């Protein structure tokens, strides 16, 4: 058991990638705090875009060893002319502000202890364009920058900060792509070199590797898990 004696907090843990991460850590011996805005069995309910709720959650949870910032929402692939301010604000608060808030809450204890791992959920949309709508792509590029700068600032304190950039993952958030004889899903798969979608469990396995001693010399890395999609879509 690689994570026996370690405490892991996962946001967005009621479904999809977050749920798979939480289960994978449990299976590998960790004590897991599963956090989500939606109520469910075994879930600590918290809106991680709300500063007051996050502060209360941090006080309730106490010390953790590993923080997985996985909560996020899509934007319907909207362009600027169809993105109103309400949607802009909602996506940025959920995808980006939440990471700032949880990291701000748990970082002091990690620095005091001299150890900790933070894994942020970016996206292939944060590595170029074409992986999402305007505000979603904006949020994920910001997460990439946040991850790199925080890693640079905190490596001297023994804290690793990393990010995962998933591509096409079959989750409840992407379920509509599989409607109507899976036409959208098939089109997406055809644009991926590996010609398939992934599942949350594959992302969870990558998460466990990054959180394990095997990756202890990694810092600031943003790891795509996308079947090769970003090879033809990165803009720099």
Catalytic residues: 136
Token pair listed for 233 = 């879509």
Percent helix, percent strand, percent coil in the chain, to nearest 5: 50, 15, 30
3-state SS, residue 59 = helix
Instruction: Tell me the H-state helices in 48-199.
Output: 51-61, 85-92, 98-113, 134-154, 179-190
**Tokens describing residue 18:** 């977050």
Q: Do the Cβ atoms of 47 and 97 come closer than 8 Å?
A: no
């Amino acid at each position: 058991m690689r994570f026996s004696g370690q405490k892991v907090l996962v946001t967005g843990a009621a479904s999809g990638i977050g749920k798979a991460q939480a289960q994978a850590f449990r299976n590998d011996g960790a004590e897991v705090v599963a956090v989500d805005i939606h109520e469910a069995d075994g879930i600590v309910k918290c809106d991680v875009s709300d500063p007051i709720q996050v502060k209360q959650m941090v006080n309730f949870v106490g010390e953790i060893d590993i923080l997985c910032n996985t909560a996020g929402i899509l934007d319907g692939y909207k362009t600027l002319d169809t993105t109103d301010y309400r949607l802009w604000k909602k996506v940025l608060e959920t995808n980006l502000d939440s990471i700032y808030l949880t990291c701000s809450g748990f970082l002091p204890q990690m620095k005091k202890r001299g150890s900790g791992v933070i894994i942020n959920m970016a996206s292939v949309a944060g590595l170029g364009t074409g992986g999402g709508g305007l505000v979603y792509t904006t949020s994920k590029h910001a997460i990439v920058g946040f991850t790199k700068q925080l890693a640079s600032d905190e490596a001297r304190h023994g804290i690793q900060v990393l990010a995962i950039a998933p591509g096409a993952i079959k989750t409840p958030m992407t379920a509509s792509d599989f409607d109507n004889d899976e036409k959208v899903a098939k089109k997406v798969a055809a644009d991926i070199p590996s010609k398939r979608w992934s599942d949350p469990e594959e992302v969870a396995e990558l998460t466990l590797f990054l959180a394990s001693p095997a990756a202890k010399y990694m810092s600031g890395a943003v790891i795509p898990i996308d079947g090769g999609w970003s090879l033809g879509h990165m803009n720099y």
